[in-house]
A and B are shown apart, each in its own frame.
Chain A
Amino acid sequence: MIKQRNDKLYSYLLLVPSFLVVILLILIPEIIAVILGFTNYSPGVNLRIVGLRNYLTIIGDGVFWRDVFTNIVFVLVSVFLELIVGLFLALLFAKKFWGQKLWIALILAPLAMTPSASATIWKYLLDFNIGPVNYLLQRFSLPRLQWFSSYPLALFSVILIYVWQSSPYVFIMLYPVRVSISNTIYEAASVDGASPWQILFSITLPLLKPIIFIALVYRTIFALRAFGAVWNLTGGGPFRSTELMSIYLFKQGFVYWKFGLAAAVATIMLILTVLLSKGLIENMYRTTFAKD
């Protein structure tokens, strides 16, 4: 009895500091942000509740809808490509190569790039005048391309670079699951005369389906909030053609100082994220914490 009561006391003692930090720096700010979305909050202006005016302003802003559309294209295309590349890598590395560890390290390298370093790399490689890629195009008698300053090519470049940087995340999600599939299943299928395609579609993919789904949700959530990766490359341009919701939020808040408006955009992003991540949260809780 005493031990149990002690346990309870201990656990509060051990949990409280973590919760304090998380509540103070994430939960409360997010709640305040949602509330600010209903105010005219801006430095130097008297704080007033304005009801839904921010939301009406946003809904009436053509730029916002254009950014939403850009964001949807960005999320759909980049997540789709990430999944294809990540899956391909996971299947490729399922059979060991000589020097496996080094090759995997090189595959993972883009994930260790800070957005500004990766922007340095690509702004150089794809530079209109001095970039090696345009040089190669010219070499093959093709026209030089304005990779970052023409529409819609800029969006395409930004998406490809984002995919380059985030595909390794899909790989590290799928790879361990693929490796954990017992070889005997494959041997049996082989003996029965199944073709590689049959094996892929009736054994590997069905077994990977749950993790592919998790990766899909996970990457969608992250693509939805992408900021630095795009901001460093184009700043949202040219002509706002690579402007995502996060950049719209950033500009409203930190450039025009309309924090109320920015907060309303933030709330929209928050709602989308919560809707998307519900299943993931339940899954993480069930697999890691739940006591039966």
Chain B
Amino acid sequence: MKTTQLSPRSKKKLMTFFRWIAMLLMVFISFGPILVVILSAFKLEKEIFTFVPQLLFKPTIENFRELVTKWPDFFKSLKNSLLITLGTSVLTLLLSIPTAYAYSRLTSKKLTRSAILLIVVRMFPPIITTIPLYPILNKIGMLDTHIVLIMIYTAFQISMSVMIFKTYIDSIPTELEEQAQIDGCSRFKAFRKIMMPLLAPGTVTALIYIILFSWNDFDFAYLMTGTATVTGPVKIAELLGIIGQGAMKWGTIFAASTIQMVPILIIIWILQGGIIEGYKIGAVKE
């Protein structure tokens, strides 16, 4: 046994080495599959299927060109996604900030109980709402419209957004607003001038989840959209559905997936503090 005994220093070095190995392995499992697809989007079809994984290759935009010329609908679907994401973001912020403010500063103990409803509805499985919504929206001719998805997404995002904003507003001392009101500002003006700038970090935190949900949602979009409003995720599913039927190439669908996911990957990288913070506040406080 004596011979295998390591000095504390080399033991620590060895530990660090294993930690790095473990970490890189996890990163490889998480990100490797995504990277393969992003890289393959820049390969020619015959290069995608040469089995020895090629890291060195001459990048080509052939797949993207094919996507643009043969599947222009895909870009229309991204535009729909963008519109719906923007609409949901604006509407959710507009509704949830005032509500959070009311819960933080105004409501009585009794009225605060109403927040339970906000939390409860968020837990309901979303797919269930589609059963009555689908025929109703169909009847009133709103099934294939942007506003419907924006409203549904907003309804499911309000709760977490309110929780995030309430927590941030709670942390801002009331004295700041009171001082402004004494100085002659109205309550609304005091809120706008004093609170809004201080809420910027909270807004970022809330926005990440709103964007992540409305840009990526498949379940609702699959059921509630038609030719006019089909979103990126549904379009990709459509393209994937016809793979191997001649007209659709893997390279093309890799290009489409890459365009859909790269913006969100960049957001995740830049705003990851907000992702962790948002979940801490909006989901799992102990």
Contacts and interface: CB of A to CB of B under 8 A. Distances in A.
B175 interface: no
A177 B286 CA distance: 9
B112 A291 contact: yes
Q: Is the interface of A mostly helix, strand, loop or mixed?
A: helix
Interface string B217-248: 11100110000000011101100100100000
B276 to A, nearest CB: 5
B13 interface: no
A89 to B, nearest CB: 6
B207 to A, nearest CB: 14
B89 to A, nearest CB: 15
Nearest to A274: B123
Interface string B120-145: 11011111111111110000000000
B110 to A, nearest CB: 10
Nearest to A17: B95
B185 interface: no
Name the interface size band of chain B: 35 or more
A21 to B, nearest CB: 5
Interface in B11-47: 19-20, 22-23, 26-27, 29-31, 33-34, 36-37, 40
Interface of B: 19-20, 22-23, 26-27, 29-31, 33-34, 36-37, 40, 49, 51, 53, 95-96, 98-99, 101-103, 106-109, 111-112, 114-121, 123-135, 151-152, 154-156, 158-159, 162-163, 166-167, 187, 212, 215-219, 222-223, 232-234, 236-237, 240, 243, 250, 253-254, 257, 260-261, 264-265, 267-269, 272, 275-277, 279-281, 283-286
A36 B30 contact: no
Contacts of A116: 218, 233-234, 236-237, 240, 257
A107 B99 CA distance: 34
Given A121-B257, A274-B123, A287-B285, A101 B158 contact: no
Contact of A15 (B51, B114, B152, B163): B114
A172 B131 contact: no
Interface stretch (A53-61, A68-76, A142-150, A247-255): A247-255
B102 A10 contact: yes
A214 interface: yes
B27 A22 contact: no
A119 B237 contact: yes
A41 B219 CA distance: 22
A263 B130 CA distance: 10
B121 A288 contact: no
A112 B280 CA distance: 18
Contacts of B243: 123
B20 A22 contact: no
A201 B102 CA distance: 44
B30 A110 contact: yes
A117 B260 contact: yes
A231 B261 CA distance: 19
Given A112-B212, A273-B125, 5 more contacts: A7-B106, A101-B272, A116-B233, A121-B36, A231-B222
A256 interface: no
Highest count of chain A CB atoms <10 Å: which of B27, B106, B260, B280: B106
Nearest to A101: B272
Contacts of A169: 279
B285 A108 contact: no
Contact of A121 (B37, B218, B237, B272): B37
